[in-house]
Amino acid sequence: MAATFYGPRRKLQVSDDDLLWAGRGLVGEEGEGQSRDTAAAMLWALLHRCLLMPNELDYGAMWRAFSQPINSRWRRDGDFCRPGGKYFGSQFCSEAKLARRERISQIAWEELPISLRVWLKEFQAGQLAPPDAWASLSRPRVSNWGSATVLSSLPAKYPWGYRQADEWMFEDKGLLAGAVSVDTDYAPVDIAKPSVVPKVLAVLFFIASVIAAWKISGR
């Protein structure tokens, strides 16, 4: 069952279609070998953009608006890359980039890495907490990211952010006052504290495995 996420002015649930677009966006942003923490950071950052900014976009639409690899404006017939577009003929609209965007925007759910599908479903159910690193940030309502390469100006411009993989993640200025809360059938997720649900499940699985092995051995 999908959890309900509440912001200062509205609430939303993440539909299966939203989840597919989020999965495509994650592959486009970080590839197929990303970590759980990176996926969680991006999923929560876009949730914050939905609920802590004055907009009415649903979760999937926010991903399509924010993430260049799945944004229709960056396709070969989109505003930026079609003949006469602002970046037509540039490296940003190269054939390789256009073909990659087309491929990513058509990925089926079953084609996503299985680990990513698990994390997406956990997020939809309210079980995937933000990375532990967020608990130590002075401004933990992360809602944006961009390249963290040596040429990036983001670390200096948003010093309250942090580096996650190759991205500089940070809280935007001017967000609505308040925080995002979660209503789920599972234990509520406190975004100010490290995630404990996955760790608890891992311990329970280990205990069950030990008991099963003990019974099979007859001891």
Phi-psi region of 181 (alpha: psi -120 to 50; beta: other; left: phi over 0): beta
Amino acid at 76: R
Ordered by start, the domain boundaries in the chain are: 4-192
Residue 188 has pLDDT above 80, yes or no: no
User: Is 128 within 8 Å of 122 (Cβ atoms)?
Assistant: yes
Mean pLDDT score across all residues of the chain: 87
Distance CA 4, CA 47 (A): 11
Please identify which residue in the block is written with the tokens 């509440």.
6
Please give the pLDDT value at position 200: 41
Cα radius of gyration (the chain): 19
> Averaged over 91-120, what is the pLDDT?
96
> Averaged over 50-70, what is the pLDDT?
97
Please give the pLDDT value at position 210: 33
> Averaged over 132-148, what is the pLDDT?
96
> Averaged over 115-126, what is the pLDDT?
96
Identify the residue with better confidence: 169 or 211: 169
Closest-CA residue to 71 (of 92, 48, 56, 43): 92
Please give the pLDDT value at position 186: 64
Task: Name the pLDDT band for 135 (thresholds 50, 70, 90).
Answer: very high
What tens digit of pLDDT does each residue of 21-53 get?
Answer: 999 999 999 988 899 999 999 999 999 999 999
